A and B are shown apart, each in its own frame.
Chain A
Amino acid sequence: MTGLASPKLRKAAPAAGSTPGTPQGPPPAAGRKADGPRRTALLPTTALVLGALYCLLPVAWVLVAATKADDELFSTFTFLPGSGLTDNIGELTGYRDGIYWRWMANSVLYAGLGGVLSTVVSAFAGYALAVYRFRGREAFFNIMLAGVLMPPVILAIPQYLLMAEADLTDTYASVLLPLVLSPYGVYLGRIYAEAAVPMELVEAGRVDGAGEWRIFLRIAVPMMSPGLVTIFLFQFVAIWNNFLLPFIMLGDDEKFPMTVGLFTLLKQGASQPALYTLVITGALLAIVPLIALFLLIQRFWSLDLLSGAVKS
């Protein structure tokens, strides 16, 4: 609601400058930008850091909780580190012949392969929508975007029934295939292609006698590559985080991804709390790869790309 009403705020906030949030000096100082580092705004900085700490809290908790042995979990103070991290990891690895690592590998497979396929499909479609003028272009794009609005359960139930008809339920394909097409991926693909591939270059390629496929591979793909990395990451995270589809499609826990595996473990934990330690350790190990991934790519890739921002 805030956003919708904001143009009216212009008139409604006359004396906003007197709020304590902005310890701003007298006006003359405001104009000089170049000289020296600016003074720190204390209150806003505090607010921002508090926000950051709030977001880190559960992660910090799981980091500590995973070090606690069974009896320590319910008895010692929450943020007091325990003594059992390696034991917990060992126990988790030993649980049902290391099925936990199987789930992890499955998640990597679903998210990795699904992400790559999805990026290819999105790049094709986005490029076609951006570079060519053809009949049905806008209709196709709009129908695709309407797919975003579809509640996943509504798709998942008939998808399950159709997969059952095709005898494909409880297979890797049943989880992988429905996730390959991502409407948001196609949308991003179109935006990146529009921004990154100049029509003159495509035309020049045609004049030189290159075929459409070659133009796409040699000219467009390299120019779109930062965008393609973004689509891959977006889909990787989306599939990694997916719960509903594998939850519905799979019965055999050897094929579970991490999310469904941990959920079943938690469910059993309701009757045997000893499993809680395993769930907590499992949760920690499950979030480490993605966090590491994001920290790693920070240097080469900007978060802004995720919202479809294109640098000029």
Chain B
Amino acid sequence: MTQPPKGVRRSYGVKAAPYGFLLPAAVLFALFFALPIGYAVWLSFHKVRIKGLGLGKGAKTEVWAGLENYTSALADSELLASALRVLGYGAIVVPVMLGLALFFALLLDSERVRARSFARLAIFLPYAVPGVIAAVLWGFLYLPDVSPFHYLLDKAGLPQPDLMDGGPLYLAMSNIAVWGGTGFNMIVIYTALRALPTEVYEAAKLDGCSELQIALRIKIPMVVPSLVLTFFFSIIATLQVFNEPTTLKPLTNGIPSTWSPLMKVYSDAFTGGNIHAASATAVVLALATFALSFALLRISNRRTTQGAGR
């Protein structure tokens, strides 16, 4: 490969090279993405039949189940409840997180704001903290015996809410996601802001526009593509929430083991031991994610083609 003597061999090398470079990725994709997905789909259409007492080898066989697993998955009220919980959670997390990310990104992009490099690093810092550890930290901050909030409320003689149950739990959980996710999204939006040509708002400044006007009327419309992108990924990440509620669970009785849809899949598969039902639920969730992503992409494509490119 290093010393191709003839043109013929070289052009062969050029033709074959991309496939060679793609080989590791393709093999890994086949083994760890395509095969598991295919297997999950296969499982979802099968069930276990037990012969006799179910003892001994060959007593359990997998037989075709048709849509049985799917109908029971869709009829499962726990799945619906978990989906609703996560939708409620997402309705808090996504707008608050992206709103803050955009707000901070605009502040970072403003010349007259101080402490920008400090703030940029500080707000980004939670990205380096694993979700599990973030949940541990906040979990302790929510515990009445440890929490500074409860301490202050106590001193002020005010009632202390239980942050780990009922309605406040949504806020407590959302707070962890907002804390962890704002920084990364802020960086994405800030990068887009810095890539804008400065002439555009120099002209606006000469015309006497304030920074706020420039932000609202020029900057935000021009970074719509990255807002769509962050929105898209935030929604998907939110629907897939698993680590944080799982970690908080030992600290409270307010979180059932089926709090989020993925926790439901996990507990069906590993606690309940019913991998076939769990696979069906998982496939339903994947399809729902795809449908949602597709819809969002269509909307965003219509937006971005009329706005700035890329």
Contacts and interface: CB of A to CB of B under 8 A. Distances in A.
A10 B10 CA distance: 56
A243 B4 contact: no
Given A2-B98, A158-B36, A147 B29 contact: yes
B104 A157 contact: no
Interface of B: 1-4, 10, 13-15, 17-26, 28-29, 31-33, 35-37, 39-40, 43, 95, 98-100, 102-104, 107-108, 110-116, 118-134, 136-141, 145-148, 151, 179, 182-184, 187-188, 190-192, 194-195, 202, 205-206, 208-213, 216-217, 220-221, 223-224, 226-228, 230-231, 236, 239-240, 242-243, 246-247, 250-251, 262, 265-266, 269-270, 275, 278-279, 282-283, 285-286, 289-290, 293, 299-300, 303, 307
Given A44-B107, A240-B130, A153 B194 contact: no
A91 B212 CA distance: 53
Given A2-B95, A244-B243, A162 B211 contact: no
A285 B120 CA distance: 23
Interface string A133-146: 01001001001101
A47 B103 contact: yes
A34 interface: no
Interface in A45-74: 45, 47-49, 51-59, 61-62, 65, 73-74
A306 interface: yes
Given A154-B37, A162-B35, A39 B116 contact: no
A147 B33 contact: yes
- Residue of A44, A78, A157, A306 ringed by the most chain B CB atoms within 10 A: A157
A263 B127 contact: no
Interface stretch (A81-89, A124-132, A221-229): A124-132
A65 B140 contact: yes
Given A61-B137, A150-B33, A259-B132, 4 more contacts: A79-B148, A259-B130, A263-B247, A280-B136
- Residue of A177, A244, A294 ringed by the most chain B CB atoms within 10 A: A244
B115 A48 contact: yes
B111 to A, nearest CB: 6
Contacts of A304: 187, 190-191, 194
Nearest to B186: A51
B107 A58 contact: no
A16 B129 contact: no
Contacts of A244: 242-243
A155 B134 contact: no
B110 A153 contact: no
Contacts of A291: 125, 128
- Residue of B26, B111, B128 ringed by the most chain A CB atoms within 10 A: B128
A212 interface: yes
Contact of B217 (A10, A52, A129): A10
A79 to B, nearest CB: 6
Interface residues of A, number: 121
Majority secondary structure, A binding face = helix
Contacts of B210: 16-17, 22, 24
A93 interface: no
Given A21-B212, A211-B13, A243-B243, A155 B21 contact: no
A2 B99 contact: yes
A266 B130 contact: no
Nearest to B300: A4
Contact of B289 (A53, A62, A132, A151): A151
A96 interface: no
Contacts of A242: 130
A161 B39 contact: yes
Contacts of B35: 158, 162
Contacts of B139: 266
A6 B219 CA distance: 10
Nearest to A287: B129
B3 A17 contact: no
A181 B240 CA distance: 20
Contact of A16 (B13, B216, B303): B216
A158 B37 contact: yes
A67 B212 CA distance: 44
- Residue of A58, A78, A180, A181 ringed by the most chain B CB atoms within 10 A: A58
B1 A211 contact: yes
Contact of A267 (B4, B191, B240, B250): B250
